[in-house]
C-alpha cells in the first residue's frame, strides 16, 4: 500500500517499446534514456535498462518509470520519449542548435495520436545508410557498389540488433530533421483531400463525401487519402506487417483534426468511437469479417478522452491456409 501511494503521488514517465531515435524495438537489458518536457525545457533522465516485464528500473526518485498497459496515471502526465542511450547521445551530438525540438516532434509523433497503444509495426530498413557506414568503418569502398539484392542480404545477415544498424537509422533521422522546416498547422481531417509524409496537405472541395483512409507505419501517420469509389477489391489480398490502415466515412470524423509540422502529421481524435485498424489497404466485405468481442482493445475511462476504443483486424488469404483454429470463451 505504501509503495502504491508513492506511485500515485509521483509523476509517471511512460517507457515505450520503441526507440524514438532509431525506431528499433528495445531488447532486454538495453540501456535506455527517457525524455520529457517541463516548462518548455527538455529533461533527460537515466531510465536504467529495459526490462522484460512491466516493472521498470527506478533509478530516479522524482519520477515513476512505467510500462503498465492501460495505466491510469501515464495519460495524465506529459508525453515522453524513450531512446537507446547510445542512440540519443549520437543524435544529440549531431543535431544543431534548435533541432532538438524537431527531434522531440519526430519521436513523439511515432505514436499516430497522443498516448496511442503500441502498434508493433516493422520499421523501414535503412539499407543504403547501413552499407555506407559499414563501407567507411571497415574501409571497404567497393561495398557500396554491390547490387541492391546483395546489400539487402548483407544487412539481413548482420541482424536487426547490431549497433551499427541502429546508428544508421538514427543518422538518417538527423539528416531529415536538419532539412525540415517548422510549419505547424492544424486542419480538420474532413477538409483534407490527400497528404503524404514530407508534403503539404491538399484540401478537399467536398468535405462531406467519400471514405477517408489513414495509413500508419512505424513512424506514425504516413498518408491520408480520400476515396469517392471503393478501392479495388484485389488490394484486399495484400496485407503487410509494416502498415496499418483506418477507414472512416467523412461524415464520421468531423471532430478529428490533424496537426502538421516538419513534414509530419499527427491525429487528434477525441471522440471518434470504434476505430478499426486493418493490415490491408482496402476494406473487406462485411461478410468476410469476424468481429472481436466488444471488450477487445477497449481503454479504461481514464484514457477515453485521448484514446478511442480500438479493434485491430488481421487479414488472411484462404488460398494459403491449410486449416483454421477458433478459440471461444463463454460469456459472463
**Mean pLDDT (10-residue bins), the chain, 332 residues:** 54 92 91 90 92 84 86 86 96 86 94 88 76 81 85 76 82 90 91 94 88 94 89 62 88 91 92 77 63 47 46 75 78 60
- State the pLDDT at residue 332: 55
Kindly state whether residues 265 and 153 are assigned to the same domain: no
Separation CA 289–CA 283 (nearest Å) = 10
What are the Cα distances from residue 2, in Å, to 61, 64, 119, 315? Answer: 15, 14, 34, 47
- Decide if 193 is inside a domain: yes
- State the pLDDT at residue 325: 81
Kindly state whether residues 25 and 167 are assigned to the same domain: yes
Kindly state whether residues 242 and 94 are assigned to the same domain: no
Length of the chain: 332
- Decide if 323 is inside a domain: no
- Decide if 324 is inside a domain: no
- Decide if 322 is inside a domain: no
Q: Which three cell numbers stand for residue 316?
A: 488472411
**Residue 83 carries which DSSP code?**
E
114, 147, 180 — which closes off a domain?
A: 180
Contact 226, 194 (CB under 8 A): yes
Angle at 148 between CA 142 and CA 151, to 5 degrees: 60
Separation CA 101–CA 106 (nearest Å) = 9
119, 148, 180 — which closes off a domain?
A: 180
For residue 55, list its beta bridge partners: 66
Other Cβ atoms closer than 10 A to 329 = 6
- Decide if 280 is inside a domain: yes
Whether the pTM exceeds 0.85: the reply is: no
- Decide if 301 is inside a domain: yes
Please give the tally of structural domains in the chain.
Answer: 2
Please list, in sequence order, all residues whose beta carbon lies within 8 angstroms of the beta carbon of residue 11, skipping any fewer than 6 positions away: 62, 63, 64, 77, 78
Q: Which domain holds residue 130?
A: 12-180
Separation CA 227–CA 247 (nearest Å) = 10
Amino acid at each position: 500500500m505504501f509503495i502504491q501511494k508513492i506511485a500515485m503521488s509521483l509523476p509517471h514517465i511512460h517507457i515505450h517499446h520503441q526507440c524514438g531515435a532509431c525506431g528499433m524495438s528495445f531488447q532486454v537489458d538495453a540501456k535506455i534514456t527517457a525524455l520529457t518536457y517541463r516548462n518548455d525545457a527538455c529533461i533527460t533522465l537515466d531510465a536504467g535498462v529495459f526490462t522484460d516485464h512491466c516493472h521498470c528500473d527506478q533509478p530516479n526518485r522524482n519520477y515513476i518509470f512505467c510500462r503498465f498497459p492501460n495505466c491510469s496515471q501515464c495519460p495524465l502526465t506529459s508525453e515522453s520519449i524513450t531512446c537507446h542511450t547510445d542512440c540519443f547521445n549520437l543524435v544529440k551530438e549531431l543535431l544543431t542548435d534548435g533541432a532538438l525540438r524537431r527531434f522531440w516532434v519526430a519521436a513523439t509523433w511515432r505514436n499516430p495520436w497522443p498516448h496511442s497503444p503500441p502498434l508493433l509495426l516493422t520499421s523501414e530498413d535503412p539499407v543504403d545508410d547501413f552499407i555506407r557506414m559499414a563501407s567507411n568503418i571497415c574501409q571497404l569502398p567497393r561495398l557500396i557498389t554491390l547490387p541492391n539484392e546483395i546489400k539487402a542480404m548483407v544487412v539481413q545477415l548482420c541482424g536487426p540488433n547490431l549497433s551499427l544498424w541502429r546508428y544508421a537509422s538514427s543518422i538518417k533521422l538527423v539528416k531529415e530533421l536538419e532539412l525540415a522546416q517548422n510549419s505547424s498547422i492544424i486542419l480538420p481531417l474532413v477538409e483534407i483531400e490527400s497528404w503524404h509524409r514530407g508534403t503539404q496537405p491538399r484540401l478537399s472541395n467536398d468535405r462531406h463525401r467519400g471514405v477517408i483512409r489513414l495509413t500508419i507505419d512505424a513512424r506514425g501517420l504516413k498518408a491520408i487519402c480520400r476515396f469517392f469509389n471503393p478501392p479495388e477489391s484485389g488490394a484486399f489480398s495484400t496485407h503487410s506487417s509494416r502498415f496499418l490502415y483506418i477507414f472512416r466515412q467523412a461524415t464520421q470524423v468531423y471532430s478529428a483534426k490533424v496537426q502538421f509540422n516538419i513534414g509530419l502529421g499527427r491525429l487528434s481524435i477525441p471522440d471518434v468511437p470504434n476505430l478499426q485498424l486493418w493490415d490491408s489497404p482496402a476494406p473487406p466485405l462485411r461478410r468476410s469479417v469476424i468481429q472481436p468481442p466488444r471488450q477487445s482493445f477497449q481503454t479504461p475511462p481514464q484514457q477515453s478522452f485521448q484514446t478511442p476504443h480500438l479493434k485491430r483486424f488481421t487479414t488472411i488469404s484462404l488460398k494459403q491456409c491449410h486449416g483454421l483454429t477458433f478459440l471461444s470463451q463463454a460469456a459472463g
